Amino acid sequence: MRTVGVEEELLLIDRESGEPRALSSAVLARAARDTGENTGVEPQDSDYRAPEEETFETELQGQQLEFATQPRTSMDSLLDEVVRWRADADRHAGDVGGAVAALATSPLPVSPKLNVGPRYQWMDEQFGLTTQEQLTCGCHIHVSVDSDEEGVAVIDRVRPWLPVLVALSGNSPYWQGNDSRYSSYRNRVWGRWPMAGPTELFGSAGEYQRQVDDMVASGVLRDRGMVYFDARLSHRYPTVEIRVADVCLEASTTILVAALARALVETAARDWRAGRPPLPHGVSLLRLAAWRAARSGVDEVLLDPVTMRPAPGADVVRALIDHVEDALADTGDLDMVRRTAAGLLEHGNGARVQRELVERTGSLSAMVAECVRRTQAS
């Protein structure tokens, strides 16, 4: 069974006001004191951690904290670990007057504070305001693959289905105190990076590596870790990393996305071995599908991944589950995915929850406080 690892980026906030605070260094120091971890290492836009590596890391901005799970085969154990690290992160933040919220953008106005380090300084000099404004929290899913050839075959075949994960995970409706009118505004802000987004068909591992080499040789990227494809080969571990999801408000949604990501990888690998070609959609259509998903979430229309024509969001979610049904059944995840997806379609993704909380309380701060509580729920 393929292993799955999760990286989550959490928003560090003031426990009283809900405003983002640049507490990452202080939180990492508390974690290091409590656990003896070698925390605070500047990541290389990296991947899920090996067992001997640290759990918590800094991210681009001081108002962010990242953790990574171990590779797991069981979704129950993955859920337990996500819940544990969210709780530990909140405990460490609480020691310095803060809290963590699984929000993909800050609902309240914020002036991001860039973390120190040569990598972040290089990004600031290279990309300017794009770097300075980039306070977004994502969820990255790593799924094991047997080889680079299998991994690239998977990347080619999962492309049209990834916007559905954007819609399910949408958890960033607010930006600088305003309703963006998007479900995942993080997706739109993330797309400002010139090396981010969907890819054309590669066809082979050799072509994938040639394109990555050319991108680095252009000088626009610092290294291979800055290849921000929607799905990419890890340059450290034998995984495909799917990078489209917002950090999810509730841990159960994270596990839904992780289970669907693994099933997509397994289904794509089976199609490749059976000689079934990938859908030939070009990047232009894939970008439209991603925009539609970021705008609508699951509450309105999405683009059907096969036809690239509008269809009700709930129908497209069910089409994704049907597409990967055999893989979900083989891992024992099918009932959980159907149940969790049905609940999400009924009650809404994080974006809908945030908007309903604001409508009920009339306050962004009160909404953030409730989201802090939901971040800790299982």
What is the per-residue DSSP string for 196-231?
EE------SHHHHHHHHHHHHHTTSSSSGGG-EESE
- DSSP conformation class of 125: H
- CB-neighbour burial class of residue 284 (10 A; exposed 0-12, middle 13-18, buried 19+): exposed
What's the mean pLDDT in 81-85?
97
Mean pLDDT across 242-251:
98
> Which tokens sit at 18?
């809900």
Q: 204-225: per-residue pLDDT in tens?
A: 999 999 999 999 999 999 999 9
**Residue 78: its pLDDT value, please?**
98
Q: What is the DSSP letter of 138?
A: E
pLDDT band at 36 (very low <50, low <70, confident <90, very high): low
Q: What is the mean pLDDT of residues 37-66?
A: 66
Domain count, the chain: 1
Q: What is the CATH number for 354?
A: 3.30.590.20
Residue-level pLDDT at 51 = 44
What is residue 33's predicted lDDT score, i.e. its pLDDT? 86
Q: How far apart are CA 24 and CA 22, in angstroms?
A: 6
As a whole number, mean pLDDT of residues 292-299 equals 98
The range of the structural domain enclosing residue 269 comes to: 4-375
Which is it for the CA torsion 81, 191, 349, 302, positive or negative? negative
Instruction: Considering only the C-alpha atoms of the chain, give the largest distance between any 2 of them, rounded to a whole number of Å.
Output: 57
Residue length of the chain? 378
pLDDT tens per residue, range 126-152: 999 999 999 999 999 999 999 999 999
Give pLDDT, residue 328: 98
Please name which of 174, 26, 39, 2 lies closest in space to residue 113, comparing C-alpha atoms.
Answer: 26
Confidence of residue 378 (pLDDT cuts 50, 70, 90): low
- E strand or H helix at 120: helix 118-127
The token pair at 134 is 């980039």
Taking alpha carbons only, the member of 140, 131, 130 closest to residue 57 is 140
Three-class DSSP category at 249? coil
pLDDT at 235: 82
Query: What confidence score (pLDDT) does residue 52 get?
Result: 40
Q: What is the mean pLDDT of the chain?
A: 94
3-state secondary structure 295-346: HHCCCCEEECCCCCCEEEHHHHHHHHHHHCHHHHHHHCCHHHHHHHHHHHHH
Phi, psi of 336 (to 5 degrees): -60, -45
Residue type, 360: R
- Which pTM does this prediction carry? 0.95
Alpha carbons 207 and 342: distance in angstroms, whole number: 39
User: pLDDT (tens digit, 9 = 90+) per residue, 173-206?
Assistant: 999 999 999 999 999 999 999 999 999 999 999 9
